[in-house]
Amino acid sequence: MINKIGFVLVKPQLPENIGFCARALKNFGFKSLDLVNPKKEWPNQKAIATSVGAKDIINKTRVYSHIKEAINKYDVVYASSARKRDINKKHLSFDQFIKSIKINSRKKIGLIFGPEASGLSNEDIAYSNYVFKIPVNKNFQSINLSHSVILICFEIFKNLKKNYPKNEKKLNDKISKKSLNTLVNYLENRLEKKGFFSPNEKKKIMLINLRNIFGRLELSHKELRILSSIFSKF
């Protein structure tokens, strides 16, 4: 179960924080850590130093140029955000987040975290299925990146000891994130040829909205085939 869960740090600024995150993962049995456009060059000796006994995780850490590449291998993706976003995306309370993790525990799960200073952009979040927030003091909501990661590691580790839900088979029929991205990319190309993205300066926000819509649908494999067939006709 835990081996199917991966952590993705988007544009992390401090290599020391990456090392602390690797250490947090190993504390609770997680093994997969990926980076998207880290600010400092990688590999980095400062990350190795702060990882202490988690050098094996550091050595296996992969670097991607775009979040789309980093999350392609996952079936469901959760985005961490310290604030409520005004975007068309399902926001989960922390309890709902943990419950959803347990429901999807046989799937490949990706957890994405943003840079220390600004957090994930709306464009990054568009590639997720859900957004969750760690409950903290409302008067001081800023949490260090590595602290956020270790809190999530602990909560998932603690809660995945329970039995799988009875509706697991139905949930496992949902398509992977890679399949969803392939569908949306195909639709984007078809719409581009039809001149849908006009004016051009609105294309970025239109694509974010498009990904958010499809991300919320949780399509089955059968529904994917139907939509693919429909989109091929125009």
Hey, what domains does the chain have and what are their CATH numbers?
2-167 (3.40.1280.10), 173-231 (no CATH)
Q: What average pLDDT does this structure show over 101-125? A: 94
CA atoms within 13 A on the CB side of 52: 7
pTM reported for the whole predicted model = 0.76
Model confidence at 163: pLDDT above 70: no
Model confidence at 191: pLDDT above 70: yes
CB 119 within 8 Å of CB 82: yes
Cα–Cα nearest to 146, from 12, 2, 4: 12
pLDDT-based confidence at 172, cuts 50/70/90?
low
Distances in Å between the Cα of 234 and the Cα atoms of 188, 195, 208, 213, 225 are: 12, 12, 21, 20, 15
Q: Is 89 helix (H, G, I), strand (E, B) or coil?
A: coil
> What's the confidence (pLDDT) of residue 91?
93
Q: Is 139 helix (H, G, I), strand (E, B) or coil?
A: coil
How buried is 75 (Cβ within 10 angstroms: 0-12 exposed, 13-18 middle, 19+ buried)?
A: buried
Q: What average pLDDT does this structure show over 140-148? A: 93
Q: What is the overall mean pLDDT for the chain? A: 90
Q: What are phi and psi of 181, to 5 degrees?
A: -65, -40
Q: What average pLDDT does this structure show over 48-55? A: 95
Beta carbons within 10 angstroms of residue 49's beta carbon: 13
pLDDT-based confidence at 196, cuts 50/70/90?
confident
Model confidence at 56: pLDDT above 90: yes
DSSP conformation class of 87: S
